[in-house]
Amino acid sequence: MRKKVIAGNWKMHNNVQETKDLINGIKEGLKEFKPNCEIIVCPTFTNLLTAANELAGTEIKLGAQNMFYEDKGAFTGEISADMLKSVCAEYVILGHSERRTIFGETDEIINKKILKALEKGLKPIFCIGETLEEREKNLTFNVVKNQIVNGLKNVSADNMKNIIIAYEPVWAIGTGKTATKEQAQEVHAFIRELLKEIYNSEVAENVIIQYGGSVKPENAAELLSQPDIDGALVGGACLKADSFLSIIKAC
Ligand code: PEP
């Protein structure tokens, strides 16, 4: 049985005080019920240490939203895996569509980041997904396949237990348009089958595949009830403790 994983991608939101308030809101809410999933919060770099302190002693895990693939050096503005580990990050979101489209990250760059994260003991949340144009041209499976094959190049079967895949159709991110449970399930099943071909059935059966794209309290339960959807990567709805908690409850 795969455990469900709900992760919150805070994107470029919240200052130090807002970070404390949001985490405390989540902690308060979790006193009311026992979550049936793993919970990860991914604040901005500048709030990771604050978040780590607030999360100490809880079951909630900490993730970053990006990192660079070099260890150190003249890379102005970049953050290394060791730096993330030094502020207690356990996960790192890599390949998010905003990184791919706004910041020009290619599959090759994302692959280097994934390999470095794994080498340093960070767990990547590896995002993939097609644009609306690609879906309308029936290219969804091709696009997802290429992103997986290229992004996971040289990742061993053994290391796949340290990776979460997040299927996030680009047209559903921040748009309020969610994939239907059937659309999401179809792609998740395809990804699992692909991982069986690339690796083996053990990897395919055990890998966590989250869905992301306008997940909110109203649609979380039906998406999470699908057999191959193992959790959610949540953007907008993770910025309020109540809505994030409702999604956690949906597990
Ligand atoms: C995301 O940024 O990963 C995301 C899924 O955002 P939203 O939930 O706002 O669509």
- pLDDT tens-place string over residues 146-190: 999 999 999 999 999 999 999 999 999 988 888 999 999 999 999
Q: Is residue 234 lining ligand 1, measured as CB closer than 6 Å?
A: yes
**pLDDT at residue 174, as a whole number:** 86
Phi, psi of 247 (to 5 degrees): -70, -40
User: What span, in angstroms and rounded, lies between the C-alpha atoms of 47 and 231?
Assistant: 24
Q: Is residue 220 lining ligand 1, measured as CB closer than 6 Å?
A: no
For ligand 1, the distance from its centroid to the CA atom of residue 10, given in whole angstroms, is: 9
Q: Where are the beta strands (DSSP E) in 129-234?
A: 164-167, 208-212, 231-234
Point out the least confidently predicted range of 86-95, 111-120, 169-178: 169-178
Q: Is residue 236 lining ligand 1, measured as CB closer than 6 Å?
A: yes
pLDDT at 30 over 90: yes
Give catalytic status of residue 96 as yes or no: yes
Band (90; pLDDT cuts 50, 70, 90): very high
User: What span, in angstroms and rounded, lies between the C-alpha atoms of 64 and 59?
Assistant: 17
Taking CA atoms only, the protein residue closest to ligand 1 atom 4 is: 235
Q: Report the atom number in ligand 1 closest to the C-alpha of 166.
A: 3
Which tokens hold the place of 177? 């348009």
**pLDDT at residue 177, as a whole number:** 85
Give catalytic status of residue 168 as yes or no: yes
**pLDDT at residue 176, as a whole number:** 84
